[in-house]
């Protein structure tokens, strides 16, 4: 993608009412449409969604396929896609606006800062869909299911709130299972190393992202883990 194209998307995002961005990490703060400062911590339902429906996060949402698809499929639930790449978020946010999905929003921030923007227990469910597995030696602590990230999620996830990992990468799947088994607060509810080899256990898994379709075309199997962390 050209630099000019990216700059155009960044400028357009500033006009979107469904995108919030974090540019300053210390202290973390959010800006909304027009670059205006906003404070949504503990108030996402009241101030943005204007309803009392449960909230699901999609972490490392990329182009937001899951966020948009689930928002369309479940109009009585709220969905927030989270990613650091504004040019990626732009696509999902634009589609959500075109489809008038008022239950879909996007948050641009580093995931390690996520607890700064949500109150304890404000989130009902978290999806991690095809994140970077960080396979290089010494990078495992950057995986989104590493212990340090689970601690961030605990700060905002409600008691017994569900977490989901969907990935094509066996190393990440095995790593996650090891982390969860070593975590006294975590509980593995379901796992599968090849979800499409049998009837799917839940409708949400029917959604296929851009990257997932690429992996399937290469003959890779899709792994899924459902668990709780508090």
Please determine, looking at this structure, whether the domain spanning 3-228 carries the CATH number 3.40.50.2300.
no
- Mean pLDDT, to the nearest integer, of 19-36? 90
pLDDT bracket for residue 227 (50, 70, 90)? very high
Average pLDDT, the chain: 94
What is the pLDDT, as a whole number, of residue 131? Answer: 94
Domain boundaries, the chain: 3-228
pLDDT at 103 over 80: yes
Question: CA 152 to CA 83: how far, in whole Å?
Answer: 15
- Within 13 Å of residue 86, how many CA atoms lie on the same side as its CB? 17
DSSP state of 113: G
Q: Which carries the bigger pLDDT value, residue 212 or residue 153? A: 153
SS (H, E, C) 152-167: HHHCCEEEEEEEEEEE
Confidence check: pLDDT of 22 > 80: yes
Does the structure show a pLDDT above 80 at 207?
yes
Q: Quote the pLDDT of residue 209.
A: 86
**Comparing 19 with 10, which gets the higher pLDDT?**
19
Per-residue pLDDT, 210: 84
- The residues carrying an active-site annotation are 132
Please give the pLDDT value at position 26.
79
How far is 118 from 27, CA to CA, in rounded Å? Answer: 14
pLDDT of 3 > 70? The answer is no
Cis peptide before 15 (omega within 30 of 0): no
pLDDT score of 81 more than 60:
yes
Model's pTM, two decimal places? 0.94
Distances (CA, A) of 128 to 67, 103, 142, 162: 11, 19, 14, 11
pLDDT band at 87 (very low <50, low <70, confident <90, very high): confident
What pLDDT, on the 0 to 100 scale, is given for residue 1?
Answer: 52
């Amino acid at each position: 993608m050209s630099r000019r194209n990216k700059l155009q998307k960044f400028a357009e995002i500033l006009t979107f009412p469904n995108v919030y961005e974090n540019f300053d990490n210390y202290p973390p703060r959010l800006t909304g449409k027009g670059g205006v400062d906003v404070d949504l911590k503990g108030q996402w339902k009241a101030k943005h969604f204007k309803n009392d429906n449960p909230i699901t996060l999609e972490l490392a949402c990329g182009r937001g396929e899951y966020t948009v698809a689930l928002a369309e499929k479940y109009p009585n639930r709220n969905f927030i896609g989270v990613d650091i790449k504004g040019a990626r978020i732009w696509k999902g946010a634009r589609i959500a606006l075109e489809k008038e999905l008022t239950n879909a929003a996007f948050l641009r921030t580093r995931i390690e800062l996520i607890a700064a923007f949500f109150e304890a227990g404000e989130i009902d469910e978290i999806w991690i869909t095809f994140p970077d597995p960080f396979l290089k030696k010494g990078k495992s602590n950057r995986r989104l299911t590493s212990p340090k990230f689970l601690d961030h999620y605990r700060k905002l996830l409600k008691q017994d709130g569900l977490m989901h990992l969907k990935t094509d990468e066996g190393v990440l799947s095995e790593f996650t299972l090891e982390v969860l088994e070593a975590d006294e607060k975590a509980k593995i509810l379901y796992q599968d190393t090849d979800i499409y080899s049998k009837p799917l256990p839940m409708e949400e898994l029917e959604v296929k992202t851009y990257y997932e379709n690429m992996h399937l075309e290469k003959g890779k199997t899709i792994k899924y883990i459902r668990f709780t962390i508090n």
